[in-house]
Structure 1
Amino acid sequence: MKNTERIANLALAGLSLAPLVVKVDPNLNVVLTACITVFVGCYRSVKPTPPTETMSNEHAMRFPFVGSAMLLSLFLLFKFLSKDLVNTVLTGYFFVLGIVALSATLLPSIKRFLPKHWNDDLIVWRFPYFRSFEVEFTRSQIVAAVPGTFFCAWYALQKHWLANNILGLAFCIQGIEMLSLGSFKTGAILLAGLFVYDIFWVFFTPVMVSVAKSFDAPIKLLFPTADSARPFSMLGLGDIVIPGIFVALALRFDVSRGKQPQYFKSAFLGYTFGLVLTIVVMNWFQAAQPALLYIVPSVIGFLAAHCIWNGDVKQLLEFDESKTADSSQEESDAKSSKKVE
């Protein structure tokens, strides 16, 4: 397995559970940006070869606890250490992660203009003194990393809201594209756990809101406002990535059945409805809201209602991307054997 892909997967998994808070005005830009990002990430997740690594039910159950530990650790760091020191370290972390995310986002557009062997030939680099740890990459990935490096340097130096948003969108697209739930059962377990996670840390403790305000990193999208007291509206990246990987699974389910996307449309509509409902409730009560409280029931509810209406509940619950990957590999091996004969 490519270690670079594993590193990105782990980093994006951690990013998706970073402290989240929704504090947005009834601004169409917020809804459009989030929905377009989910749409793009979903279609980029559809690939000729199904994902070979998917999340298990056990991992889905542990995810909220890992996120809680991460969130509480950040809260304690900000409480007992200098805020500037913590944010300096985080800036370095997101500088590296940003280069990985931006280069991966740009790569499909760049590699078509490069020699084919630049895209195919792997370069293996082993860490000094840690020879067992290696990273695989191509020349095309190096080329894509050049503009990403300059852009991340601009972000690190200026912390401009536009640079923050572009990095955030790259993180979201890569998260939705690369993270695979494997099955709708696993997806339901993950969303249910994070549904409780979001409610607990927003409504019952000051931890999430406190960390979100202190955390100076691209874990949220910023939208300028005319209010000098509150210059930016914010939307947490987890409110895009977490439901986005579930919506992407619905799209790949449609593709695996060889039909036009239909359940993807209902899941995507559920996400849009949940996001709008979050904004309406937040502005009604003038208080931070756990977005997954509204988005999770909407996404699952819209998809479930559509499946029940069409009588496809059994097929949806039996869908397993790991089995799809195995069958695709068997078909590929069979074709190769025929060519040899």
Structure 2
Amino acid sequence: MKNGERAANIALAGLTLAPLVIKVDTNVNVILTACLTVFVGCYRSVKPTPPTETMSNEHAMRFPLVGSAMLLSLFLLFKFLSKDLVNAVLTGYFFILGIIALSYVLFKHWLANNILGLAFCIQGIEMLSLGSFKTGAILLSGLFVYDIFWVFFTPVMVSVAKSFDAPIKLLFPSRIAARPFSMLGLGDIVIPGIFVALALRYDVSRGKESHYFKSAFLGYTAGLVCTIVVMNWFQAAQPALLYIVPGVIGFLAVHCLWNGEVKPLLEFNESKAASSEEETSSKKLE
């Protein structure tokens, strides 16, 4: 699949730069950029050994609570301190990331923001592992509730996203003067992305390169499209995970139910599978 991955990398780079020279429909840009990023990150995660950072069930259950605490903390910082002061401190942190970060510090251009954001997304999907589909389901379910609560029931999420002047979101130039940019949070790419990547590695471990990966990836795409449609219909911010999580889990669940492979999928544990392969290799060498 190296050719496909290479083509996706080229397409992602071209799409990122395209708004500089031509008008790109914002909705199409959001969908294609997010999907290409997930695709690239997933295939980069396929290695002889699983990603080094593996999440446990306990971590997955705790993640939405930690995320909520951080989100609320940022909201309070922006509420009671100068927005410029908070952003200056955070910008100083990103300064250490190099020339692109320097460009971002000096000009705060959306392109520098997106390059950093895409790099974070791809690296996150590549390096993080859920370990098992059970852990993934726990994490996505928790963040499903988290996203709905903070977007629909409080002004916190939208306020932080608009105030936080750092590459925690992708910016897509818009033709609407009143709203020059559309935004997509990095979490809406990375969190579902690591679940989709797990599906790909599960396929590879069974000798089926893109069996369940196609279902999970299609579910992500469908969820993202649904997000864009609803957002444009109501002209209001939407919690993307409200649509993406059911899409990813639902498409994968229907596929494995259809194939009668629910048990092996739920029993799959990436760490144990890797250990078994190492033991088998050692025995062969002996």
TM-score (norm 2): 0.89
Corresponding position of 1:185: 134
What runs of 5+ residues in structure 1 fail to find an aligned partner?
1-24, 100-148
Q: Deviation string for 1:276-323 (max 9, x for gaps)?
A: 000000111111100000000010000000000111111100000110
Corresponding position of 1:67: 67
Q: Residue type matched to 1:29 in 2?
A: N
Corresponding position of 1:46: 46
1:324 aligned to which of 251, 273, 279: 273
* Superposed counterparts of 1:15-164, under 5 Å: 27-96=27-96, 99=97, 149-164=98-113
Mapped partners of 2:52, 2:281: distance in 1? 14
Residue 122 of structure 2 is aligned to residue 173 of structure 1: yes
Question: Are 2:26 and 2:173, in contact at CA under 8 Å, matched by a contact in 1?
Answer: no
Residues 156 and 331 of structure 1: CA distance in aligned 2, closer, same or farther (over 3 Å): farther
Question: Are 2:38 and 2:189, in contact at CA under 8 Å, matched by a contact in 1?
Answer: yes
Measure how far apart 1:26 and its partner are: 5.9
1:229 aligned to which of 175, 178, 201: 178
Residues 58 and 231 of structure 1: CA distance in aligned 2, closer, same or farther (over 3 Å): same
Mapped partners of 1:65, 1:81: distance in 2? 24
Q: Residue type matched to 2:84 in 1?
A: D
What runs of 5+ residues in structure 2 fail to find an aligned partner?
1-24
What is the total number of aligned residue pairs between the two structures?
A: 262
* Superposed counterparts of 1:238-249, under 5 Å: 238-249=187-198
Residue aligned with 2:54, SS: coil
Corresponding position of 1:307: 256
1:270 aligned to which of 205, 219, 228: 219
Q: Residue type matched to 1:47 in 2?
A: K
Mapped partners of 1:58, 1:151: distance in 2? 36
Mapped partners of 2:212, 2:117: distance in 1? 27
Question: Are 1:51 and 1:322, in contact at CA under 8 Å, matched by a contact in 2?
Answer: no
Mapped partners of 2:52, 2:74: distance in 1? 32
Q: Deviation string for 1:204-255 (max 9, x for gaps)?
A: 1111111111000011111111211111111111111110000000000000
Greater RCO (Cα-Cα under 8 Å, separation 6 or more) = 1
Question: Are 2:200 and 2:209, in contact at CA under 8 Å, matched by a contact in 1?
Answer: no
Question: Are 1:181 and 1:187, in contact at CA under 8 Å, matched by a contact in 2?
Answer: yes
Mapped partners of 1:50, 1:277: distance in 2? 32
Q: Residue type matched to 2:104 in 1?
A: Y
CA RMSD of aligned residues (A): 1.3
Larger Rg: 1
Mapped partners of 2:151, 2:101: distance in 1? 30
Measure how far apart 1:92 and its partner are: 1.7
Q: Residue type matched to 2:106 in 1?
A: L
Mapped partners of 2:30, 2:47: distance in 1? 28
Mapped partners of 1:51, 1:332: distance in 2? 19
Measure how far apart 1:325 and its partner are: 2.0
Corresponding position of 2:246: 297
Residue aligned with 2:74, SS: helix
Measure how far apart 1:52 and its partner are: 4.9
Residue 200 of structure 2 is aligned to residue 251 of structure 1: yes
Mapped partners of 2:133, 2:95: distance in 1? 34
Question: Are 2:52 and 2:127, in contact at CA under 8 Å, matched by a contact in 1?
Answer: no
Mapped partners of 2:28, 2:206: distance in 1? 34
Among all aligned residue pairs of Structure 1 and Structure 2, give the percentage whose two residues are the same amino acid. 84
Residue 147 of structure 2 is aligned to residue 198 of structure 1: yes
Question: Are 2:151 and 2:157, in contact at CA under 8 Å, matched by a contact in 1?
Answer: yes
Measure how far apart 1:53 and its partner are: 4.2
